Structure 1
């Protein structure tokens, strides 16, 4: 049983890192090299990538930042900045694709009702370990990044990635120095990844009633995102976020999306962080 949807995990990964961690230069954490963050919240998201049904999920997370290069998180995986010079950062990532249940109501963190027969018959897609790398360039408040990952063990063996441009604006909210972030993003994949999640074989078509389809890779989606990071005190911060994606290419044209889902994907959530 999956604990969280692939779409939810992807959303968390695409949000800028600045909204999930305190500025380590603050006196609050002076002298510390390891920072722990315990997070809890709720998110409203499609029950799977391409779904027309919106569900509410709990999103627990624990993350550890060691120094200024290594980050370990239940949701985001392991990230290590191999190169860090000036405005340019490049690193390696080991993360986790949470797969897909063919019965969306079988998620252990689901808090709301969801149609149980939407894609029943397609069969589940197992979780997958993904290994890859990223490059990030920061210019003032503007942050651009490219990340590419390869499935190495589990439900898919494809290549998938994201391109993101984000502007982080310092503002004052509730009398506290906060950050509002907004930007655009696009996701892409190879044929193998697209086929795993959006193909419909003859056997699957007979079992689900969804038309047969053969998906190729390319641009998966493009969209906009926004978030707000508001520290409530020296340890607790509130994070709100929203994201809109429009599916593209063969993914958009998949019979799964056209017959049982939607091209429009909207997500919003609220998370409380405790850092120590």
Structure 2
């Protein structure tokens, strides 16, 4: 708790120091401007900054990050490991192997990351999740859902060259889940706030097993959903695109986009650090499977991810 108090005090001092420095700069700049208007200062002259400006700017911010946040990310019981947290989240950084685009039979490797909120304590006493566990919650509750979809640069793939490019997309939304120690059920709905500007979602269920201490295994089915605009963005071919690419014009409807299964594994070295990975197979269905884009590739979609996880507990 003392480390949290010191951390908060340091943050407050940083804000005060920065505010003072910025105010000094603004006052100095205003004085310089008045002098120029009065022709009492050459335009080649530069206003003087306070002698301790650099000290004010860096004295508290850099030591706080270098002495507490950076080491605390690696070490235990630092500023990122509060014993009485208001927010608990798990971040992951790693790599992913996935189809180059929806319907492609080419796999590409790239960076992958995630941010999952395991516990949030809101003002008024309302709590979401559990601050005593990592990743898996018990009972019925809301959950966040996000997804990033890579940009499709059609000119890079001869089979779809001539189709319009599709920008990178970011989806965010909410879901409802029910979980017990050995199973979980969930339904998520997301909207593409950046990129495709349409609705997508997922239904899923998992069996959960704990074969040895620290290891959690999950396995279960998935159903992927998308509205008309979503399927048109990723599986549709307009008349102009048809003329440019040679693919048949196609106007798909929304609905069930694919069905599949996911196998996941997570091993925790301790309460802070772990490693997790997943292997996923999806079979595109309905209008997504019948798309000329999919016919030039494959309806079978494989995705593999692996990464290091870090649990962060913050006390505000």
> With structure 1 as the length reference, what TM-score do the two structures score?
0.70
User: Could you tell me which residue of structure 2 aligns to residue 169 of structure 1?
Assistant: 209
CA separation in 2, counterparts of 1:68 and 1:58?
A: 27
The alpha-carbon deviation at position 257 of structure 1 amounts to 0.2
User: Could you tell me which residue of structure 1 aligns to residue 98 of structure 2?
Assistant: 45
Question: Structure 1 residues 129, 266: CA separation in 2 closer, same or farther (over 3 Å shift)?
Answer: closer
Can you list the C-alpha shifts for 1:81-125, whole angstroms capped at 9, x where unaligned? Answer: 59xx972113565x45535322486xxxxxxxxxx4342221222
- Aligned positions of 1:105-184 closer than 5 A: 116-128=157-169, 130=171, 132-151=173-192, 153-172=193-212, 176-184=213-221
**Which protein is richer in helix relative to its size?**
2
The alpha-carbon deviation at position 64 of structure 1 amounts to 6.6
The alpha-carbon deviation at position 37 of structure 1 amounts to 4.0
CA separation in 2, counterparts of 1:264 and 1:65?
A: 31
Can you list the C-alpha shifts for 1:219-251, whole angstroms capped at 9, x where unaligned? Answer: 100011011101123432111210001000000
User: Could you tell me which residue of structure 1 aligns to residue 85 of structure 2?
Assistant: 32
User: Could you tell me which residue of structure 2 aligns to residue 198 of structure 1?
Assistant: 235
User: Could you tell me which residue of structure 2 aligns to residue 188 of structure 1?
Assistant: 225
The alpha-carbon deviation at position 129 of structure 1 amounts to 5.0
- Aligned positions of 1:58-69 closer than 5 A: 58-61=111-114, 63=115, 65=117, 67-68=119-120
Can you list the C-alpha shifts for 1:37-93, whole angstroms capped at 9, x where unaligned? Answer: 4432222111111111011112244x37474468xxxxxxxxx959xx972113565
Match of 2:254 among 217, 225, 230: 217
Residue 158 of structure 2 aligns to a residue whose secondary structure is: coil
User: Could you tell me which residue of structure 1 aligns to residue 291 of structure 2?
Assistant: 254
The alpha-carbon deviation at position 196 of structure 1 amounts to 1.6
User: Could you tell me which residue of structure 1 aligns to residue 263 of structure 2?
Assistant: 226
The alpha-carbon deviation at position 127 of structure 1 amounts to 3.6
Aligned residues of 1:123 and 1:204 also touching (Cα < 8 A): yes
Aligned residues of 1:43 and 1:270 also touching (Cα < 8 A): yes
User: Could you tell me which residue of structure 1 aligns to residue 278 of structure 2?
Assistant: 241
- Structure 2 runs not aligned, ≥5 long: 1-80, 130-136
Structure whose alpha-carbon radius of gyration is higher: 2
Is 1:100 the equivalent of 2:169?
no
Aligned residues of 1:102 and 1:119 also touching (Cα < 8 A): no
CA separation in 1, counterparts of 2:182 and 2:110?
A: 31
How many residues align structurally?
Answer: 221
Aligned residues of 2:281 and 2:301 also touching (Cα < 8 A): yes
Residue 213 of structure 1 aligns to a residue whose secondary structure is: coil
Please report the RMSD computed on the Cα atoms of aligned residues, expressed in angstroms: 2.9
- Aligned positions of 1:69-84 closer than 5 A: none
Can you list the C-alpha shifts for 1:154-177, whole angstroms capped at 9, x where unaligned? Answer: 4333322110011121221xxx42
